[in-house]
Amino acid sequence: MHPEKTNPSLVLLFILIIATSLFLTVTALQAEQHGSNRSASGCIPAERAALLSFRKGIAADFTSRLASWHGGDCCRWRGVRCSNHTGHILELDLGNQNPSTGSVTGCDDVNALFGEISPSLLSLEQLQHLDLSWNCLTERQETIPLFMGLMKSLRYLNLSGIPFSGEVRPQLGNLSELQYLDLGSQDLGYRMYSADITWLQHLPLQYLGMSNVNLSQLDLSDNNFDHEIASSWFWKETSLRHLHLGYNRLFGQFHDALENMTSLQVLDLSFGLNQGLVMEGNFKNLCCPNVHWIHCRSCIWALINITGTFPVLIGRFNALSVLDLSRNNLAGNIPPELSNCTHLNTLDLSYNKIVGPLPPEFRRLTRLITLDLSNNHLSGSVPTGLGAFTNLTCIPVSLCKLNLLSDLDLSNNLLDGQIPRCFDSESSQCIEFLLLSNNSLSGEFPAFLQNCTGLHFLDLAWNNLFGKLPEWIGELTNLQFLRLGHNTFSGNIPAEITNLGYLQYLDLSSNNLSGVIPMHLSSLTAMTLKGYGRTLAYFIGLDLSGNSLTGEIPLDIISLDALINLNLSSNRLTGKIPNKIGALQSLESLDLSENHLS
CATH of the domain at 146: 3.80.10.10
The answer to whether position 456 is within a domain reads no
Beta bridge partners of 253: 278
Find the Cα–Cα–Cα–Cα dihedral 546, 549, 555, 557, rounded to 10°.
-40
Helix or strand run (H / E) with residue 46: helix 45-56
Give which of 492, 495, 547, 553 is closest to 520, Cα–Cα: 495
What DSSP string runs through 90-155? EEEE---SSPPTT-SSGGG-TTSEEE---GGGGG-TT--EEE-TT-B--SS-SSPPGGGGG-TT-S
- Over its C-alpha atoms, the chain yields an Rg (Å, rounded) of 35
Alpha-carbon distance values, 403 to 100, 315, 409, 526 (Å)? 64, 22, 16, 30
Residue 555 lies in a domain: yes
- d(CA 402, CA 406) in angstroms, rounded, equals 9
CA 233 to each of CA 213, 252, 267: distance values in angstroms, whole numbers, following the listed order:
11, 15, 16
Last-in-domain residue among 170, 192, 215: 215
Let me know if residue 26 belongs to a domain.
no
Phi, psi of 574 (to 5 degrees): -130, 180
Residues 6 or more apart whose CB falls under 8 angstroms from that of 36 comprise none
| Per-residue model confidence as pLDDT tens digits over 386-426 | 333 333 333 344 455 566 677 778 888 887 777 766 544 44
**72 assigned to some structural domain:** yes
Domain end among 192, 215, 238: 215
Cβ-in-10-Å burial (0-12, 13-18, 19+) of 243 comes to: buried
Contact 544, 526 (CB under 8 A): no
Would residue 64 count as lying in a domain?
A: yes
Of the three residues 194, 215, 236, the one that is the final residue of a domain is 215
**How many degrees, rounded to 5, is the angle at CA 448 between CA 502 and CA 348?**
75
In the prediction, which pLDDT does 363 show? 67
Total count of domains within the chain = 2
In a domain, 363, yes or no: no
564: nearest Cα among 594, 534, 598: 534
Give the C-alpha distances (Å, rounded to integers) separating 440 from 290, 391, 413: 40, 10, 8
Q: Domain limits at 192?
A: 43-215
User: For every one of its 598 residues, what pLDDT tens digit does the chain have, with 9 covering 90 and above?
Assistant: 444 555 555 555 556 556 555 554 444 444 444 444 454 457 899 999 999 999 999 999 999 999 999 888 999 999 999 999 899 999 999 999 888 777 778 888 888 999 999 999 999 999 999 999 999 998 877 889 989 999 999 999 999 889 888 888 888 889 999 999 998 877 655 577 776 677 777 788 888 887 777 766 666 666 666 777 777 766 766 666 677 777 667 777 765 666 666 666 677 766 544 455 655 554 544 444 344 445 444 333 233 332 356 666 677 666 677 777 777 777 888 888 888 877 777 788 888 888 887 777 776 777 777 777 888 887 654 433 333 333 333 334 445 556 667 777 888 888 777 776 654 444 445 678 888 899 888 889 988 888 888 889 999 999 999 999 999 999 999 999 999 999 999 999 999 999 999 999 999 999 999 999 999 888 899 998 887 555 555 678 999 999 999 999 999 998 998 898 999 999 999 999 998 888 888 888 999 999 999 8
Is-contact 77 51, C-beta < 8 A?
A: yes
Q: Is residue 446 part of a domain?
A: no
